[in-house]
Amino acid sequence: MNKFQTIVQVDAAVRDMALHGLPEAILSKLTPFELPFVADSLPLRQLMAMRYICRQSEDVARIYREHDAMNRAALQLEDVSPRHFQGYQHAFQQINAMSDDAFGGDRVHRFLDLGCAPGAFAAWILQNNAAAGGIGITLSPDAGGIRPQVDPTFSERFDVRFEDVVKIATGQAVLGGTLAGGFDLVIAHAATVLAGDRIPWTQIIGLTYAQLLVAFEHIAGGGSLIISLRSHPFNWIADIVWMLTQAFTSVHAVHTAWQAKRPFAYVVCQGFRAGVDQRSMYVARLRECLIYLENTSAPIDDPFGGAVNIPRLSAAQHEDIPDDGRQCVLSLFTNVWQSKFNALHSHYQKVLENYVQDAKEAAGLGTRQPMNVVGVCSNEGGPFSWKGRPIALPDSYQRRREQKNAGINALFNCKDGVSSRADRAVSWRRCQPEV
């Protein structure tokens, strides 16, 4: 069922949830670690509310599922479509543009591309760095990987190897051909192309840790890492971000137009600065994480064997991520959350345009018209400029809002209690640690 007929109603509902109370269906899934982030960040609450509303709309959710299935199917074809290849190339161009052209203009010499196929990132680097040479790692198509499609003219400068990056990380396979000085750029973009629910969570998260391990083993001093990371403040993501901030001189996140609605961001880390001992320490900790993930069979939200107990990278085991680390995660992802919100918002708007038009056509009321005919505000100023927007809440909505307000107010009024004890089980309603 589609609850909203206009984007104005959607905006009002998002604003209502973000300012006055996220639904219990969202809050109940958050861990005590995530709650303070949600309390502190309006853009995150807006994004979560928008995702929730998108899931509630049959049309939006169906189109999203169809796109997702089409994307996954397209990636599994014998040849990835030119549209996908160009999409990834455009994404890398955006990453480079948002990183002061650090990866073009002959600045890259030696790169390692984990999850390299079809090869769009590599092709961009090879085109824009005449002397660059690289090694690409990807699963073979027989093992479920994508077929590499880098132009054969680059084959002398780009060596693609079919291998599982997890096997390299765990020492079951060797990454040959590396240089003593390491790679000045490592890309960590290996991602499974099967639907997420068909793969155990330990394997999905393990792939991120495996790539980090290989990257930390082989990156040159002063080198860069580009890694695709979940853009949600899970405790393991916050831990990775905090470690990256310590190991590199600068870390920023890039949200690309390609796959804009997906819950990932490219995290660009420049100036690897960990000394020999620190590098070994990080590699050893990453290995512990992989061992943990290999050995747990508990559900992801299990308080003992789940994701909250993945060993720490940024600090010794059982040490909390400090407030600086939390702040770092907030500032890293805030723009990403806003951009993802915008992408979902315009997607919803397009779906509503079609919905309104279908209804009109069914009623014999003429041809397709722009959404403005039904009084929708344009997106100018971004969906975050709420002031001056006509907002009319239906009565039933108003009532539910008042009920929800009580809950979220409790959350937002007791941030201190939640933030400082966030790793312990905390009831957000009472703001008391649970024992």
Under the binding rule (CB under 6 A), the answer on residue 145 touching ligand SAM is yes
- Tell me whether residue 155 or residue 354 sits nearer to ligand SAM (CB atom): 155
The residue within the footprint of ligand SAM, chosen from 108, 120, 135, 344 (CB under 6 A), is: 120
What CA–CA distance (Å, rounded) separates 36 from 50?
19
CB-nearer residue toward ligand SAM: 84 or 401 = 84
Considering CB under 6 A, how many residues would be counted as binding ligand SAM? Answer: 21
For residues 365 to 394, the per-residue mask of contacts with ligand SAM, x marking binding by CB under 6 A and - elsewhere, is ------------------------------
Question: How far apart are CB 207 and ligand SAM at their closest, in Å?
Answer: 6
Residue whose CB is less far from ligand SAM, 135 or 165 = 165
Residues 182-201 as x/- pattern, contact with ligand SAM by CB under 6 A: -------xxxx---------
121 binds ligand SAM (CB under 6 A): yes
For residue 160, the minimal CB distance to ligand SAM (Å) is 10
CA pair distance 217, 223, nearest whole angstrom: 12
Nearer residue to ligand SAM within complex by CB, 166 or 274? 166
Asked if 108 interacts with ligand SAM (CB under 6 A), we say no
- Distance, in Å, from the CA atom of 31 to the CA atom of 14, rounded to the nearest integer, reads 22
Residue with tokens 């990775």: 240
Contact 289, 382 (CB under 8 A): no
Structure tokens at 236: 């393991």
Structure tokens given for 354: 């079609």
Binding of ligand SAM at residue 115 (CB under 6 A)?
A: yes
* Among positions 44, 53, 135, 166, the unique one binding ligand SAM when judged by CB under 6 A: 166
Whole-angstrom distance, CA of residue 243 vs CA of residue 228: 15
| Shortest Å, Cβ 85 to ligand SAM | 7
Distance CA 121, CA 119 (A): 6
Minimum CB distance to ligand SAM, residue 88 (Å): 4
Rule CB under 6 A: is residue 225 a binding residue for ligand SAM? no
CB of 318 to ligand SAM, least distance (A): 30
Of 5-13, 164-172, 239-247, 416-424, the window that binds ligand SAM (rule: CB under 6 A) is 164-172
CB atoms within 10 A of CB 193: 16
Stretch that binds ligand SAM, among 58-66, 160-168, 249-257, 424-432 (CB under 6 A): 160-168
300 binds ligand SAM (CB under 6 A): no
- Say how far apart CA 378 and CA 20 lie, in whole Å: 24
Residue 104 sits in the site that holds ligand SAM (CB under 6 A): no
C-beta closer to ligand SAM: residue 207 or 251: 207
**Contact of 293 with 205, CB cutoff 8 Å:** yes
In the complex, minimum distance from the CB of residue 28 to ligand SAM, in angstroms, rounded to a whole number: 32
Strand partners, 157: none
Helices (H), 21-156: 24-27, 35-40, 42-56, 58-76, 82-97, 120-128
3-state secondary structure of 328: helix
Q: Phi, psi at residue 69, to the nearest 5°?
A: -65, -40
Q: Can residue 146 be called a binding residue for ligand SAM (CB under 6 A)? A: yes
Binding residue for ligand SAM (CB under 6 A) from 41, 138, 256, 296?
A: 138
Q: Is the peptide bond before 370 cis (omega within 30 degrees of 0)?
A: no
CB atoms within 10 A of CB 150: 23
- For the chain, the 3-state helix, strand and coil shares in percent, each to the nearest 5, are 50, 10, 35
The structure tokens listed for 296 are 């747990």
What residues line the site for ligand SAM (CB under 6 A)?
A: 88, 115-121, 137-139, 145-146, 164-166, 189-192, 207
